[in-house]
Chains A and B, each alone.
Chain A
Amino acid sequence: MAKKYEFDYDLIVIGSGAGGSAAATIAAKQGKRVAIVESGTFGGESPNWSDIPLKSLLHAANLYDEARHGSRFGLRSSTLGYNYPSIRAWKDLAVKRTGAGGNRKYYENQGIDTYSGLAHFLTPNEVSVNRRHLSANYFLIASGARWVVPEIPGLDTVKYLTPHTILEAIRPPKSLLIIGGGETAVEIAQLMAIFGTKVYIVEQASHILPGLDSEVSDLMGRVLSEQKGITIMAHSKVVSVERDGLIKRVIVTHAGTEKSIRVDEVLVAIGREPQVDFGLDNAGIKYNTGGIKVNSHLQTNVRHIYAAGEVLGKNSHTHTALMESQIAANNMFEKTKASPDYSCLTEVIFTYPGIATVGLSEYDCIKRDLAINKAMAPLSIIARSNTSDFRDGFVKIITDKKGVILGGTVVAPHAAEIIHELSIAVKHGLSAYQIAETPHAFLSWSEAIKVAASKLV
């Protein structure tokens, strides 16, 4: 009989964020011996540095902004103000209340051993954490990603901000130049602009939010520039940054001409890259700078090592990482293997109006050479836009030639809630007719979905 090797743990999870914590908890509940290794703050990116803190700040900012513009409803808001340290205290409270944020005990209470430090594979079954060797039958790599710092001359000589550090700022800067125009950049731009910061966005692509359909970026570009005073510089590139006394001077090129912009702070938010510096070669795991390679069961080329979350190199959100983590745990310890279904995952941007997408975008359909029908319903044609005096937004639905919904985009207040109707439609192959014939409550924003679906029947 073959010798069965004994290991310290049944499962070692590298990374305590959304990609790791779900699998660790599931395995611990099944009675497995589980350890979790975290090199940063326990809880990972979402509760500590991105989703929770940023969205709690955005909630306060949007309340302030709505109240400030309430005079058209007869509200007196001329004396309205804010206290930024108190807003930060609210953000810290929101982070603390998640339970997982920065809280090692959260995992230990579930019977999971915790190790603080950088895990480094020595062999396929062994990692070193602060010189301590830990072995396991299974590994889950959920080390996440980090913000990329571009090679811009002079950037390393100035103290620049990242999407992590800007949330810890004592007060909003007077002026801010954001390198990058992706979703986090746009959220932070709107947040800071509401608190009075003069914001510049420099984006290399032809428009901000380059991954989304052009209608979304056109509308958001207009909302940000006209209503929030943000200067958007698309098709532009930062060529150098230098200190100029207490402020920073940024040289930006656009269509062959150079422009100098003097700002208080520079924020680098061009994108994220997977963290793969874990001695993966020692374990024989296939990877590249784009992430770790896995099969449809989230298994790497080394059979007992799985990976989930941003380390896979996809544009992963917290809910995606959670789903992958649960599936990885299932595939390690259950006989029936599962695969993640990415077809109906929503992507949400918490600006105002909010942006939410699901399924295929129009650009995705063009790339796949799919024959489609599409319809758009501007918010201005539904009754709610009248009672709320808000018209900047739309619902766009894409179907195949048989009328089955392939994808959709919502730009509206509460877009993150509205989109789930389309998620269910995409997941279960519903047609535009089925959505259109379903009654939608009068004076809800969701009426726009019914209107868009009706146009496709």
Chain B
Amino acid sequence: MTLAVDVIKSGGRRQPEKFQREKLHASIVAACLSVRAPEGQAEAIAHAVCDSVIAWLENHPEVTSQDIRIITTKHLKVHHPEAAYLYEQNRITI
């Protein structure tokens, strides 16, 4: 699913891209699996966190990739603090 939200990449040198739920979902799953969360739990967490991030994005037509990382970390912390820590620290996950 592509939401009508422009994501400005960090550094400002690359072109902005449209927000993609699949990309965010995959990055959250990767963070959860990296801290040995079961695959089913990782998928469920990613689904819930993506919903929360998309709800936030509804009022924000243009955001930076850093914004998405911060909001995702905030919601991921509720479900899996360890995965959230990894997500926050590892900038290449999204």
Task: Please list the residues of chain A having a beta carbon within 8 angstroms of any beta carbon in chain B.
Answer: 118, 120, 122-123, 128, 130-131, 279, 281-282
Contacts and interface: CB of A to CB of B under 8 A. Distances in A.
Which 6 residue pairs are nearest across A and B when measured between Cβ atoms? A128-B62, A131-B62, A282-B64, A131-B61, A279-B67, A281-B70
Contacts of B12: 123
10 contacts: A120-B63, A122-B8, A122-B62, A128-B62, A130-B61, A131-B62, A279-B64, A281-B67, A282-B66, A282-B67
Contacts of A122: 8, 62, 64
Nearest to B12: A123
Contacts of A281: 66-67, 70
Nearest to A117: B61
Interface string B4-46: 0010100010000000000000000000000000000000000
Interface string B79-91: 0000000000000
Report which residue of B12, B61, B62, B66 has the largest number of chain A beta carbons within 10 angstroms of its beta carbon: B62
Interface of B: 6, 8, 12, 59-64, 66-67, 70
Contacts of B6: 131
A128 B64 CA distance: 10
A370 B66 CA distance: 47
Nearest to B59: A118
A443 B67 CA distance: 62
Most buried by B among A118, A120, A123, A130: A120
A120 B62 CA distance: 8
Contacts of B59: 118
A178 to B, nearest CB: 28
Contacts of B62: 120, 122, 128, 131
Contacts of B61: 128, 130-131
Contacts of B70: 281
B4 to A, nearest CB: 10
A131 B8 CA distance: 11
A106 B25 CA distance: 46
A283 to B, nearest CB: 10
Contacts of B63: 120, 279
B12 to A, nearest CB: 7
Nearest to A279: B67
Contacts of A120: 60, 62-63, 67
A130 B64 CA distance: 14
A131 B61 CA distance: 6
A118 B61 CA distance: 9
A125 to B, nearest CB: 12
Contacts of A128: 61-62
Nearest to B64: A282
Contacts of B64: 122, 279, 282
B9 to A, nearest CB: 11
A122 B61 CA distance: 12
A442 B28 CA distance: 74
A326 to B, nearest CB: 31
Nearest to A39: B59
Nearest to A121: B64
Given A120-B62, A128-B62, 14 more contacts: A118-B59, A118-B60, A120-B63, A122-B64, A123-B12, A128-B61, A130-B61, A131-B6, A279-B64, A279-B67, A281-B66, A282-B64, A282-B66, A282-B67
Contacts of B8: 122
A123 B61 CA distance: 16
Contacts of A123: 12
A12 to B, nearest CB: 16
A278 B83 CA distance: 25
Contacts of A131: 6, 61-62
A122 B66 CA distance: 10
